[in-house]
Structure 1
Amino acid sequence: MRRHNFKKLQIWKEAVELIDENYLFTATLPDYERYGLRTQMNRCSVSIASNISEGSSKRTDKHFVKYLEDSLGSAYEWETQLAVCYRQNFLSEESYLNLESKVQKLQSKISNFIDSLDSIN
């Protein structure tokens, strides 16, 4: 198996874009969420891209898939935290729907990539 160049993977590129949008959003959260939602969402968003890149270094697709699944888990966790922010009125419905759509598209692409690697093996 050849190792994947994570910088060329569309899922990694989109995950990094989500990090940028996440940091812009979390900077607007109330100060009392500095060590709560803000920190957790920042860590989750970075985890999505980081697991993709770390997994790309693994020797087999089977091992890479494990990291992709971790990345997917972080994406679902981030989506839940986004929903909490919306329910707490920390962002508008328009912003919520925009970010929710982006993370759901990314989740779908990561899932499809996992399926494609599974079908090869």
Structure 2
Amino acid sequence: MGKRIESYRDLMVWQAAMVLAEDCYRVTKGFPKDEIYGMTSQMRRSAVSIAANIAEGYGRENRGSFVQF
């Protein structure tokens, strides 16, 4: 049997979302400086939002709420 899930940090999907966010920051670092408040910011916020939504959903009281997030 697999490892017991004790936290949202144990979820493979959350771990993958964190890798995506890190990759997004690394890639957007090379974007033009005039995009820092435009496309760069939007891409970074959306990438971080994925992991945050997974963590928030994990903390919900039932599976339906978790799946919704």
TM-score range, shorter chain: 0.7 to 0.9
Give the ranges of 4+ consecutive aligned residues of structure 1 lying more than 6 Å apart after TM superposition.
none
Q: Contact 1:4–1:56 at 8 Å: present in 2 too? A: no
Q: Which has the higher contact order (CA 8 A, sep 6+)?
A: 2
Structure 1 residues without counterparts, runs of 5 or longer: 68-121
Per-residue CA distance 1:65-111 (angstroms, 9 max, x = gap): 111xxxxxxxxxxxxxxxxxxxxxxxxxxxxxxxxxxxxxxxxxxxx
Structure 2 residues without counterparts, runs of 5 or longer: none
Deviation of 1:7 after TM superposition, in Å, equals 0.6
- Structure richer in helix, relative to its length: 1
Q: Does 1:35 align with 2:37?
A: yes
The aligned residue for residue 73 of structure 1 is none
> In the alignment, which of 59, 63, 66 is matched to residue 64 of structure 1?
66
The aligned residue for residue 25 of structure 2 is 23
- Count of equivalent residues: 65
